Amino acid sequence: MGLTRQISFTRQCYRRFCKVASHQREKSPRVAPECGQAGEAGATCQTTNDRKSFDFVKALKAWRLAEARRQGVPAFRILTDRTLGALASARPANEAELLAVAGLGPRLVARYGTALLRFVVEESATIAAR
């Protein structure tokens, strides 16, 4: 077999394998940008379907961005979108409830806990007044 024929044969086998492999792979679920929950393509989070929750998540993202700029780090280093969605769903009132939120551990609660609790109380009152 000549070198050209071997290369051609290898490419055909590779293409066949890739086609089979791409069909066999499971597609990763799409993630709703507002809360990070998995769903269909273009899905919206069930916890943010109503306008007040959506506004709350937007306000949390604005707080996170301001905090990130203050510290000079990317926003995802403060809290992830998934954690913000869980925080918006839970709306914790104290530190114990804050620790129960997925994505918030003792270190993040120690660092941002008081600011988050104050923000949740203030923003909930502001959104409720609308």
CA angle 115, 121, 122 (to 5 degrees): 85
pLDDT in tens for each of the 130 residues of the chain?
555 555 555 555 555 555 544 444 455 444 454 444 444 444 445 544 467 778 888 999 999 999 999 999 999 999 999 999 999 889 999 999 999 999 999 999 999 999 999 999 998 788 777 6
Give the residue carrying structure tokens 């069930």: 46
In the prediction, which pLDDT does 51 show?
Answer: 73
pLDDT at 81: 93
The second-level CATH assignment, the architecture, of 47-129 is Orthogonal Bundle (1.10)
Task: Give the residue extent of every domain in the chain.
Answer: 3-39, 47-129
* Exposure letters 2-24 (e unless 16+ CB within 10 A, then b): eeeeeeeeeeeeeeeeeeeeeee
Give the per-residue pLDDT at 56. 87
pLDDT at 13: 52
Alpha-carbon distance of 72 to 94, in angstroms, equals 28
pLDDT for res 53: 78
